[in-house]
């Protein structure tokens, strides 16, 4: 395998694909992993049956025992899917369903000892747990993160933790914040709408899967806005209450098709009050 220093990999023009391992090397790691898991299992069996250490062998334990070189760590950090390929399915692990996560945590801890990789990891590592770790340690330059988000777009921000996304939203200019509307986290999407100016994105917010975002849209809509018709089937009580208070009278009867109008006392009372009953 090729050897690269941390300093070389951290440079902006370094081609991450050069860190890929060939099949022979991956097979070698799998074999070592399997043998080591068996050794650790055998060691654990010296403890009594009721001892918590008995047969408690994780992928992280195996990783630490193997004492991987910096070169391997760099490959694990940047090559997507490599971690999973290096863990054999027949390895004797206590929590096989979490093998990839435990392995990643150990890689993350190894990265903490390497200086100068933060920016590169932020923009190129496919593992959120590793990206989040270097970000939380302050190893990613804010100016670099801003430029990386602009260049990487939605694929990059989708992997960020909530706290880091909110941090970047606070420092990014509004015109570059729209990509955060694509993330899964409801809180981040709401913050993005608020920064962008929610009044310009009402149509999209009314269709959002988050009740909090639909509530925000309803709160800022004008009284009598015909778009309240989009909430005729709303299932969240708080959102529906706002819709009933502010909907134009002409569409109010259409809300009768909503089960909450008949079943929920508060909703029913509000509906009847608006109809003048």
pLDDT digits (tens, 9 = 90+) for 135-161: 888 999 999 988 888 887 656 777 788
Q: Are residues 201 and 109 in the same domain?
A: no
Single out the residue in 80, 115, 150 at which a domain terminates: 115
| Position 161 in a domain | no
Domain that holds residue 107: 1-115
Q: Are residues 99 and 204 in the same domain?
A: no
Confidence (pLDDT) at 207: 96
| Position 177 in a domain | no
Confidence (pLDDT) at 160: 80
Taking the C-alpha atoms of residue 154 and residue 150, their distance in angstroms, rounded to an integer, is 9
| Position 224 in a domain | yes
Single out the residue in 84, 115, 146 at which a domain terminates: 115
| Predicted TM-score (pTM) of this structure | 0.77
| Position 104 in a domain | yes
Residuewise pLDDT in 10s, the chain (277 residues): 668 889 999 998 999 999 999 999 999 999 999 999 999 988 887 777 777 766 788 999 999 999 999 999 999 999 999 999 999 999 989 899 999 999 999 999 999 889 999 999 998 999 988 988 898 889 999 999 888 888 876 567 777 888 889 999 999 888 888 889 988 999 999 999 999 999 999 999 999 999 999 999 999 999 999 999 999 999 999 999 999 999 999 999 999 999 999 999 999 999 999 888 6
pLDDT digits (tens, 9 = 90+) for 167-189: 999 998 888 888 899 889 999 99
| Position 172 in a domain | no
The tokens describing 116, both together, are: 């100068």
Confidence (pLDDT) at 157: 76
Instruction: Work out how many domains the chain is built from and give that number.
Output: 2
The tokens describing 244, both together, are: 């009933």
Q: Are residues 111 and 210 in the same domain?
A: no
Q: What is the mean pLDDT of the chain?
A: 91
Confidence (pLDDT) at 155: 63
Single out the residue in 115, 131, 161 at which a domain terminates: 115
| Position 269 in a domain | yes
| Position 174 in a domain | no
| Position 265 in a domain | yes
């Amino acid at each position: 395998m090729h050897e690269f220093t941390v300093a070389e990999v951290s440079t902006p023009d370094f081609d991450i694909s050069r860190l890929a391992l060939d099949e022979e090397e991956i097979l070698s790691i799998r074999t070592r992993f399997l043998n080591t898991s068996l050794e650790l299992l055998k060691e654990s069996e010296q403890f009594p049956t009721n001892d918590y250490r008995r047969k408690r062998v994780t992928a992280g334990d195996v990783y630490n025992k193997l004492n991987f070189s910096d070169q391997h760590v760099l490959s694990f950090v940047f090559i997507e899917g490599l971690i999973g390929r290096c863990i054999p399915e027949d390895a004797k692990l206590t929590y096989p369903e979490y093998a990839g996560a435990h392995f990643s945590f150990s890689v993350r801890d190894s990265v903490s000892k390497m200086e100068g990789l933060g920016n590169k990891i932020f923009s190129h590592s496919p593992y959120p747990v590793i990206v989040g770790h270097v970000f939380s340690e302050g190893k990613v330059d804010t100016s670099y993160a801003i430029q990386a988000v602009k260049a990487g777009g939605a694929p990059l921000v989708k992997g960020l933790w909530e706290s880091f996304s909110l941090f970047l939203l606070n420092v990014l200019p509004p015109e570059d914040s729209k990509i955060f509307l694509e993330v899964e986290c409801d809180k981040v999407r709401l913050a993005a709408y608020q920064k962008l100016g929610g009044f310009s994105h009402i149509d999209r917010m009314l269709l959002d899967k988050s009740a909090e975002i639909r509530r925000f849209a309803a709160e800022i809509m004008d009284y009598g806005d015909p778009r309240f018709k989009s909430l005729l089937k709303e299932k969240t009580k708080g959102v529906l209450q706002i819709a009933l208070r502010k909907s134009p009278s002409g569409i109010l009867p259409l809300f009768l098709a909503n089960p909450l109008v008949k079943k929920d006392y508060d909703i029913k009372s509000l509906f009847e009050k608006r109809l003048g009953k």
